[in-house]
Amino acid sequence: MRTSAFEVQKNVIKKFVFLTLVCVLILALVAVRASASITFSPPDKRLDVGDSPGNSYSGSASICADDNGWIFVAWDDGRNNAENDDIYFNSSSNSGTTWLDNDRRVDTDLPGAGYSYMWSRAITCDDNGHVYTAWIDERSGRASYPQDIFFNASANHGQTWMENDKRLNRINQGTVPRGTMP
């Protein structure tokens, strides 16, 4: 099976974005630790806890923290279908000391049914417990190339999310060639 140049380029970009986000996360945690005297205890905490370590792809993580010690992380995850990632979420209420025992899936189509992925900063929060996340989603079908922007929100620090995620826009077919940005 040959991999197209576009798929190779997309994978390289995904890895670059992931490594960039990891570097930003490390710098942010160092800054938070230095300014707030927060300590993180070893060992590291695995946030994508829904499958065995190394069993599937998890990446393109985005992070947001509020001024009350909450940290929120969302990422795309291939545990339900290696070809069609879903969006997952985990949170800490105590500056990263502990995290939820079970991560939460925030895209609401059938698990693994549509290719969902996060680019750039795809999560934000406020100091009142509201968490918002958005992602690019191809659940309408890759062959026809409608990439949509989907959104979900929580009003209780990510404990629960809207029952149905919302499509915010749709790129019209035939308007933008596959592999180009509008």
Q: pLDDT-derived band of residue 57, with 50, 70 and 90 as boundaries?
A: confident
Q: 108 with 80: CB under 8 angstroms?
A: no
Helices (H) and strands (E) in the chain, counts: 1, 9
Q: 116 with 74: CB under 8 angstroms?
A: no
Q: pLDDT-derived band of residue 56, with 50, 70 and 90 as boundaries?
A: confident
Q: 90 with 106: CB under 8 angstroms?
A: no
127: helix, strand or coil:
coil
Cα 151 from Cα 25, distance rounded (Å): 23
Cα 158 from Cα 117, distance rounded (Å): 19
Looking at residue 124, its amino acid is: T
The pLDDT, as a whole number, for residue 181 is: 46
pLDDT tens digits for 108-162? 887 766 667 665 458 999 999 999 998 888 776 655 556 778 899 999 999 999 9
Instruction: Quickly count: other Cβ atoms within 10 Å of residue 21's Cβ.
Output: 21
